[in-house]
Structures are given as C-alpha cells and as structure tokens.
DNA sequence: ATCCCGAATGACAGCGCTACCATCAACGGT
DNA sequence: ACCGTTGATGGTAGCGCTGTCATTCGGGAT
C-alpha cells in the first residue's frame, strides 16, 4: 500500500480563489477587516471557514518581520515558585495575540545558551528571562538581540547592569529583612538554606548583612540542590549539624521551608519554639502547612504581567528597572 | 535626534560571503557538517561565530517544511499537577532540537480554541494536549491538523475516540480503586471533591461506581472551581455540610486534598480518625503534610516523556493508546 | 588512457505570505 | 465639466532559507 498522501493544507490563495478575490485582498480581509468592503470581507471569511484555513504564521512573519512571538526562558517550570509569573506573563501576551516559546535552562549555563539560541532563531519580538543569564555567552546573545530590536526583560532580580528592562525585587533586601525579623524575635543562631542560583546567593548575602547589622553571629549557609525539592531540605535536617543547633532558618523558597518543617518534626525540634522557619514565595501551601509558614511574599503574577506589558511596548526606552517589592508575612512558623 | 537605526541582523549570505562560499554551502556546513569539506566547514563556522549569526528558523522552516516546533496545550501551568508532565515533555523535545510553543486554555473552551488556532498557525510538527479538547471546534482543528500530517497526542486521559495517540491512565479506574480502598477501611459516607473538568468527572464517576460495587451509599459530588486552589477546598469544609458528615473524601488533586486537611483541622475533625482524605498526583507535598497524605500516584514525568517520544516518531501508526497506570499510595491520612 | 563514481560545491526556484505602490471608480466642491 | 480625494482592490517583488537538480574535479578500476 502506498503511503497515504496527506491532503494539502489550504493556503491563502485557495481562500482567495474560493472568495473570488486576489490573495492580497483576502489577506487584508482577515487581518485588517475594515480596509475591505463588508461584502468582500464576508465572502472571504466564509471561504476561510469553509476550507478550514489556518494562516501560516511563519510565512506571514517572514514577510512582515513581525513574528508575534515572545520567548520565555525559565530555570524550570517544575518548581511552582515561578508558575505565577509564567501565568501572568502568558495571560497578557496571549491576550495580545502573541505566541509563547518556552525554554528551560535547568539552572545549567550550557543548556541555557542552547535554549536561548533556539529561541532567538525564531526571531521573537521579545525575550523574558527569569533571572539574569547564567553565562556570558547567553548574555552576549541577549545583548545582540536587543541591539537588533528585540525587547528584553529580566525578572525576579534587578541586576546591576541589566541587558534590557528588569522587573523584580531586591533579593539582598529580602535577606536583610528576614535577618532583622529574626533578630527582633530574639533569635541568634541563623541559617540560610537555599539553592546555588544567583538569586538565592543574593538573599544569602543580604541575610548575612542583616545579621551583622543586628550584632548577630554570621549565619551558616546551607547549599541545597536546584531545582528546589522538599525532600532535600528534609534530608538536610538529618544530616547537617548546623540545622540541629539553629534557632532560625531562612529558606530560599517555600518548597525548602516546607521540607524543613517535616525534617524538624522528625527531629522533635518544635517550630517555632525551638527553631523559626521563614520561606519565600508565599505559595498557597504556606497557609496550609502545620504550623502555617511565615514567608516573604513575592507577587509573581504582577512580575509576569509587568514584564509582558514591557514587551508589548518594545522594552521601554530607556528600559526601566522596576522594583515590585516584597512583604514579610509572619505566620506561626516564626 | 533621528531614531537609531538598528544594525542589520546577519544573514546566511553574510556568513557565506565572509567565508568565501556560496550561501548553500554555508547552509550545509551548519546543518550537515559531514557533507562539506573540513576546511570549508571550519571557515563557515568561524565566520558564523564572528558575525554572531543566528539562523532564521522561520525562513528555514518555510523552505524545508520542517518547523522543529511542537505545540503544547495545557489547562494551566499554575497548577503544579501538570508541571512534571510539561517538564518531561520539554526535556525530551528540547534535547531533540524542538522548540516548545505553549498555550493555556484556562479550562475555557473558547480560549482553548483561540490558543490552538494560534499554535497551529505556527505549523508545529506535533501537538501535545493535556486532556482531550474541550470543544468540538478544538477537536475539529486537531483532527484536521492530524490529517495534514501533524502528530497529535492527548495525555492524562485516554478518550474513547482519541484524535491521535493517547498517553495517560484510566481516570474511571482511579475512582473505583479509591472507593474500594475506602470501603475496605470501613468508610461509608464518601465524598468526591474536585474540579469540573472531564478528568475529574471521570474520577468521580468511577468513584461512584466503586462505591456501588462495595454496597455503599452513593458518594456526594462536591464541585470546586478550576484551576485547583487549596483555599477553595478549605473554604468548602466550612460551608458545605456534606464535608461535615463525610468519613472519607477523595480529592481530585493533592492541591485540594491539602486544603481539606487544613479545613478539617479548623473544624476539629481528626484526619484520619474522623475522616479519611486521599488525593491525586502524589506531589512532593503529599509526603510533607501533617498527617502525610495518601494519594494516587501518577507518573507525570513518564507521561510527558512518552508523549514526546510519540511526537518524535510522528505520532505512531496506528496511533497507540498507552495506559501508564497509577498506584494508590496509602499514608497516614487514610 | 579511458571511464565512471563519489565528494564537494553551486545555480535556481520557490516555500506562503505581506509591504509597497499602482490602479480605478465614485464622489463632491468649485 | 474638471480635478483632487477617498475607498477598494490588485500586481509585483521579496522576506531568508533550503530542496532539487546540475556541475566540477580528482582518483581508482579496467
């Protein structure tokens, strides 16, 4: 049996022929309806519907130099901490008729560079990254893309020298605020537990600075693998002596914080009496842990929406650096 | 000041000129290196690097009819229940050099149809959906795309008449299994709590069937808004009398289940003594709730990887229906 | 020496669409 | 009656790349 020949996909010229117009008029009838006579438009629309015509956006993009595509580069979508940002971002962009090209770095510089190159090959009109690029190669590609007119927005941190716009918050200040919070509560043996990514590092540095300002000993720095997993934090409670003596732990994400609650419970260390725990992200689950989790609230949805808005206006000129702030929500855990 | 003229993006012909070859040879040097003499290849690669050349994949796709793009249509990425699937899917596809186009339906049929049309306009080589299409319009578009050669995979359920391939599990059987589990533990007043999506509905129907088989009264069916949010389930404990008298609740996702734990705690109803709770998804957090959450484990990562593999082989012929099964993990909550 | 073959390279056309400019009819002001 | 103006439509060219041939050339088999 010969392989079945797939039926040809209808093209604009097919629609035009069926509607009795030229291809260009059919194109306008679909894209700019008020530039064609109502009767013509109706014929074209009917023909398109009858044929099941789906415009080839690739060809349109090539001809018009407008791709209506935005690239999104995230460390991982498996960790719920960024989900709200991606959600806000895509909601706005889809509404505006943009398609989303997704790439993940997995916190790996080489993978990030590969993914970014693939993104840029599709000539997106904008690129939104969560975090600054991990490698000089990525940064160079982004900078070149920006020079060529691509809007670039970094989120979740505000680098000293952003490539384009930046929408985020001050991770260093977050660390200081949490340290001050612990100090005010009389805690003294602080620990920072978090990933190895630059944002966690900034929080850690701020945490240390805040402890110093409050006259406390330097906090311990516990490195946990990325992407964040609850079990890793739980495991650390068993294996890391610094957690056994801590009286306050700042976890770089609520994911880690929840894992710590489990670990401390297993150890018989009462939260918050023996040890306080504060997370970051204020995920839904923070209100549902036992005890309820104190957390630094980040409005991830707002970050995403703001980043999308910036893309839609071409990245801003000059590209703004927007600090959306944070709020320390004190609950039962410390 | 006149608007700054962006520098032109280097094209293949620029690379070719710099390397002293024809464009077509430069193209081959980059895509099929072993068809080009080593010396030539080296010159082209050097030129590309020096110019910062990024191939225009749109133009390449138009010319070759290979887009190296896969569309992914999900209800929402905000709910972590699908994160593992998207993760597995994208890992495999990125590895194979495919770009991911993401669209969300938000559980809304109209939005799904719009998003799907936008996806198909980019002529993806495959489309992966989480769930079957919500509307006949979406189904028709997918069926047409499949006839035209696009691989189509539905996941997380196995429809009676899939459009293309299907990778998932039997949601109805899940419901039966949980009902049997509750019956064996002597529970009698069952409640199903979940969203209004087809998969939750199938679980609910199976749950009812299982209860009937065990000689139990028909379970109550509690409808919670989608996408799943913990707080909605917690709130339902306060407001819905059926939860006040239930002795076993099957929540359609672990998200809801965790919200129920909080709600029951507030009500003073002990879990599992007064009421058992079983979730679905076996998310990380199931091991970290208090009490630890019993859950139906779904291997979301495997679903994603399998779906990706099917896309890479063109959807399979005939398109397979793959049941990856599930496991009921009994923990402390029931 | 002849022939053939494969390796390396190139010319040409075209993917499906849209930007740009041209055309043409209908119309109102003078 | 003339002319500019507006609204509707169409022709042409080209976006940047690759499929499909065609061409060239050196070297081993005969």
CA dihedral A83, A84, A88, A90 (to 10 degrees): 10
Q: Are residues B188 and B290 in the same domain?
A: yes
- Do residues B209 and B175 touch, judged by C-beta distance below 8 A? yes
Rg of chain B over all Cα atoms, to the nearest angstrom: 25
Strand, helix or coil for residue A292: coil
> Is any atom of nucleic acid chain D found less than 7 Å from the CB of residue A56?
no
Q: Phi and psi of B166, rounded to 5°?
A: -140, 135
Helix axes A83-95, A300-312, angle to 10 degrees: 30
Instruction: Say if residue A298's pLDDT is above 70.
Output: yes
Q: Which pair of tokens denotes residue A3?
A: 């392989």
Q: Which pair of tokens denotes residue B64?
A: 């070759």
d(CA A156, CA A130): 6
Instruction: Say if residue B271's pLDDT is above 60.
Output: yes
What confidence score (pLDDT) does residue A3 get? 47
Q: Name the residue with tokens 């009937």.
A: B212
Nearest to B280 by CA among B249, B303, B302: B249
**In percent, how much of chain B has pLDDT > 70?**
98
**A272 lies in some domain:** yes
What confidence score (pLDDT) does residue B8 get? 79
- Do residues B122 and B67 touch, judged by C-beta distance below 8 A? yes
Instruction: Say if residue B219's pLDDT is above 60.
Output: yes
Q: Are residues A292 and A176 in the same domain?
A: yes
**B54 lies in some domain:** no
* Chain B contact probe: residue of A264, A266, A285 with most B CBs at under 10 A: A285
Strand, helix or coil for residue A34: helix
Average pLDDT, chain B: 95
Within 8 A of B114 by CB-CB distance, chain A residues are 94
Q: Phi and psi of A102, rounded to 5°?
A: -110, 135
- B81-108, pLDDT tens digit by residue? 899 999 999 999 999 999 999 999 999 9
**B286 lies in some domain:** yes
User: Chains A and B: how many Cβ contacts under 8 Å?
Assistant: 168
Nucleotide D10 C1' to residue B63 CA (A): 26
Query: In the structure, what pLDDT confidence band is assigned to residue B5 with cuts at 50, 70 and 90?
Result: low
Instruction: Say if residue B1's pLDDT is above 60.
Output: no
Q: Average of pLDDT values for B254-260? A: 98
Q: Are residues B108 and B28 in the same domain?
A: no
**A1 lies in some domain:** no
Q: Are residues A177 and A291 in the same domain?
A: yes
> Is any atom of nucleic acid chain D found less than 7 Å from the CB of residue B31?
yes
**B285 lies in some domain:** yes
Instruction: Say if residue B117's pLDDT is above 50.
Output: yes
Vertex B144 angle, CA B139 and B150, to 5°: 105
**A334 lies in some domain:** no
Nucleotide D20 C1' to residue B309 CA (A): 31
d(CA B234, CA A207): 34
Q: Does B258 contact A at CB distance below 8 Å? A: yes
Count of domains observed in chain A? 3
Q: Are residues A217 and A255 in the same domain?
A: yes
> Is any atom of nucleic acid chain D found less than 7 Å from the CB of residue A62?
yes
Q: Are residues A90 and A144 in the same domain?
A: yes
- A224-258, pLDDT tens digit by residue? 998 999 999 999 999 999 999 999 999 999 999 99
DSSP secondary structure string for all residues of B39-55: HHHHHHHHHHHHHT---
- Domain limits for position B108: 69-169+300-324
Summarize chain A as % helix, strand, coil (round to 5). Answer: 50, 15, 35
Q: Out of B115, B262, B287, whose CB is closest to A288?
A: B262
User: What residues form DSSP beta bridges with B220?
Assistant: B191
* A57/B121 CB distance under 8 A: yes
Q: Are residues B159 and B304 in the same domain?
A: yes
**B58 lies in some domain:** no
d(CA A220, CA A215): 15
- Cα distance from A171 to chain B (closest Cα, Å)? 23
Q: Are residues A98 and A136 in the same domain?
A: yes
Q: Are residues A242 and A265 in the same domain?
A: yes
- B148-159, pLDDT tens digit by residue? 999 999 999 999
Q: Are residues B165 and B175 in the same domain?
A: no
Largest CA distance in chain B: 82
Nearest to B120 by CA among A37, B133, B329, B195: B133
DSSP state of B324: -
CATH code of the domain containing B315: 3.40.50.2300
Instruction: Say if residue A18's pLDDT is above 80.
Output: yes
Strand D nucleotides, any atom under 7 Å to a protein CB: 7-12, 14-20
> Is any atom of nucleic acid chain D found less than 7 Å from the CB of residue A40?
yes
Strand, helix or coil for residue A225: coil
Q: Name the residue with tokens 């406390």.
A: A216
Residue A50: CB atoms within 10 Å:
12
Instruction: Say if residue A22's pLDDT is above 70.
Output: yes
Nucleotide C27 C1' to residue A34 CA (A): 20
Q: Are residues B157 and B123 in the same domain?
A: yes
What confidence score (pLDDT) does residue B6 get? 60
Q: Are residues A247 and A311 in the same domain?
A: no
**B215 lies in some domain:** yes
d(CA A88, CA A281): 15
* A147/B58 CB distance under 8 A: no
Residue A235: CB atoms within 10 Å:
15
Minimum-distance nucleotide, CA of B66 to C1': D18
């Amino acid at each position: 049996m010969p392989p079945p020949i797939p039926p040809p996909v209808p093209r604009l010229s097919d629609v035009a022929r069926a509607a009795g117009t030229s291809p260009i008029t059919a194109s306008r009838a679909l894209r700019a309806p008020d530039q064609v006579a109502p009767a013509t438009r109706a014929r074209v629309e009917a023909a398109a519907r009858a044929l099941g015509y789906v415009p080839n956006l690739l060809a349109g993009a090539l001809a018009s130099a407008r791709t209506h595509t935005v690239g999104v580069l995230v460390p991982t979508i498996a960790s719920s901490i960024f989900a709200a940002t991606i959600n806000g971002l895509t909601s706005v962009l889809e509404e505006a008729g943009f398609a989303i090209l997704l790439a993940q770095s997995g916190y790996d510089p080489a993978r990030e560079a590969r993914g970014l190159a693939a993104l840029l090959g599709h000539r997106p009109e904008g690129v939104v990254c969560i975090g600054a690029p991990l490698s000089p190669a990525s940064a160079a590609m982004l900078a070149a893309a920006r020079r060529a007119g691509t809007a670039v927005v970094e989120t979740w941190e505000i680098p000293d020298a952003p490539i384009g716009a930046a929408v985020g918050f001050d991770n260093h200040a977050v660390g200081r605020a949490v340290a001050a919070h612990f100090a005010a509560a009389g805690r003294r043996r602080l620990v920072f537990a978090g990933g190895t990514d630059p944002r966690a590092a900034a929080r850690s540095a701020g945490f240390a600075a805040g402890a110093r300002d409050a006259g406390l000993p330097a906090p311990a720095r516990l490195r946990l693998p990325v992407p964040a997993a609850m079990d890793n934090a739980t495991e650390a409670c068993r294996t890391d002596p610094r957690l056994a003596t801590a009286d306050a732990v700042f976890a770089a994400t609520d994911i880690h914080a929840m894992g710590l609650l489990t670990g401390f419970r297993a150890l018989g260390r009462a939260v918050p009496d023996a040890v306080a725990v504060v997370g970051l992200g204020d995920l839904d689950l923070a209100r549902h842990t036992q005890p309820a989790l104190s957390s630094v609230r980040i409005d991830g949805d707002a970050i995403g929406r703001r980043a999308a808005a910036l893309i839609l206006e071409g990245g801003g000129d000059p590209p703004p650096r927007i600090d959306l702030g944070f709020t320390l929500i004190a609950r039962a855990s410390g």
